[in-house]
Each structure stands twice: as C-alpha cells, then as structure tokens.
Amino acid sequence: MILASSASSSSSPVPSIRSHEHYPATPPFTMGSTALPYLKTNPKVIFFTDFDGTITLEDSNDHMTDNLGFGGERRRQLNKDVLENKVTFRDSFRDMLDSVKNPFNECLDILRANMHLDPHFAEFYYWAKENNVPIVVLSSGMVPVIKTLLETLLGHPLDDHLTIVANEVESRDGRDINTPGGWQIKYHDDSHFGHDKSLEIKPYAAVPFDERPTLLYAGDGVSDLSAASETDLLFAKAGKDLITYCEREGMPYTVFENWSSILATTKDILSGKTVVKKEQKAITLSYSYPCWLGTLATQHVTAYWIRPSALALSFTPENQRPLGMTWPSN
C-alpha cells in the first residue's frame, strides 16, 4: 500500500494507514528519477528476468551441485521439499552450494565450458539495447557467476542497459575463495529466498499508473513468484517448477519455450499492439476524524488498484462532511 497525502496541516493527524514497510508514505517516484535508476532513460517497458534456466539453457547452480557437490538426486529432493514448504529455498540452496568444495575460480572455468545461452536471448539483448528496454537480471545465484557467464557467452563486456541484482560470494572463515572450500554464498537479504526479488520491483510498481512503464518478468523457479506478482505479465518457462507453483497459487502466467516468443510479445507491447499493463480501478473513501477546532474533518481517499500488492492513494481533506464511502459502479 503506497500513500501520497495532501491532508491539511490545520487538523489533527489523520488515522494511520500503513504504507509498505520498504517505502516512504510519499514516494518521490517520477520518470527519470535518480531514486529509480531504471527510469533514467524514460523507458516504456522494463524487463525483469531470472538468469539460471531462463536466460541460460542450464542452471549453473544445479550443474555445480550435480557434478561437483552432493549430486542430482539429493538436489531434486530438496527442490521437492521447497515446493511442499518443508524447507525454505534459502536453506536448501545453501546446502546445495556448501556441498561444492572446488575453488571458486575452478567453478567459473567449469561453468564457462558447460553453460549455454537460450539461442534467442542474444537477439533480445541487442533489440532491448536499441529500443530503450532496460533488462534487470534478478537472480538467486551469484553476481560474479552471472557476469562471467553473460560476458563469456555474449562475447563482450555487458552494456549499460543490463543490470545484475543477485547474491554475492564471500570468503569462508577468512580463506581465499580460490582455494578448496574457501567460498560460500552471501545472501542479498534476510528473506526466506535469500534474495527477495520483489524488493527490486516494488518501487517501480508504486509509480503512478499513468507514469510508470509496463513491467515484464521471465522466470522458471519458485524464487520468481514474489517478483512475478509485482509485474504486469509473467513469462513462465514450460515444464519448470514456476508453472507448478503458479497453478497452485492461482497466479496467471504466459508459457514460453524460448526467448523468441518473449521477444515477439515484448515488441507488440512496446509498439502498443498488445496492452498488458494492469488497469486502474478508482475507489473513493471518506472518513471523519476530530480536528483541533473541535469539529469533524473528513478525509476523502481515492484509491487506484494497480495489482493486489500496489495500492496508490491520494487524499483531499474537506471539513464538515458526513462519514461515507463511495465505490465504483463496475
């Protein structure tokens, strides 16, 4: 719930309506705002995406666990346990990576030799650069792995239109990360995912509806669900856990096999041929509260539903009005 208030200062404080814990009550979010760096070029679309198994054909963390760690059978059981809410993603993922004892630089070399991009991602990458579509990689993996693989597989340093937000790698017990058992994952935040991807998207979802870009997301796993709920359209990879989770949670999604269909749909959205941006629905609420003069002041609230987790409100105070509530007719 995001609030923007213009209540008169002559009355007592309005009754408390809590905004989302991560954002201020009056967010300074405007197109081109430095507070929201992905808006600096005034894009019409921002594309948020998972990395492993979404941009790449294989999952780099699964590859390390299966071939260098405790193996695929135990990993698959942990994935099942996460889906059944028996264990958090954070704990299961740490167990997976802790089973890999190879030096970190050796892990990177092995991944360079075995990972492959989706055959159509490079086309999307260059199209996005030419058409002012920021790409934001939100991953439960690790920044140095993702950066290394993207630069290796694209064949050049990353361009400014792509940003990576993920976990980091740190020394284990003060050891050199490039020695056996010397590294471990450093989680992005304290969430049960280790990296709550929705935190990066929420400020953009809170931008006023008529000013914000269309927000898209592509993913394949359970860690993508929180991020997907903040965007206008979710691309979920065929045959992967995210679809299972979406079906269970009632989350709408669009299936993709590869990035060719994502590119085609994103082109249609950018051109205006296809509209997926969530519709607003205005709700006007009024309530009374005591002011300093001993009379009743009434606060009129207009709420615009953008998505279940983002509610933008504007306030207009007016004195001596009866308490009431007005709902839209449809």
Residues annotated as catalytic (active site), given as ranges: 50, 52
Per-residue tokens: 295? 């009379």
- Asked if 208 and 282 count as a contact pair (C-beta separation under 8 A), the reply is no
Calpha distance 3→24 (Å, rounded) = 8
The stretches of 131-176 forming alpha helices (DSSP H) are: 143-154
- Asked if 203 and 29 count as a contact pair (C-beta separation under 8 A), the reply is yes
Which H or E run contains 26? none
Calpha distance 84→178 (Å, rounded) = 36
Return the closest-CA partner of residue 122 out of 258, 265, 272.
Answer: 258
239: amino acid identity, one letter: G
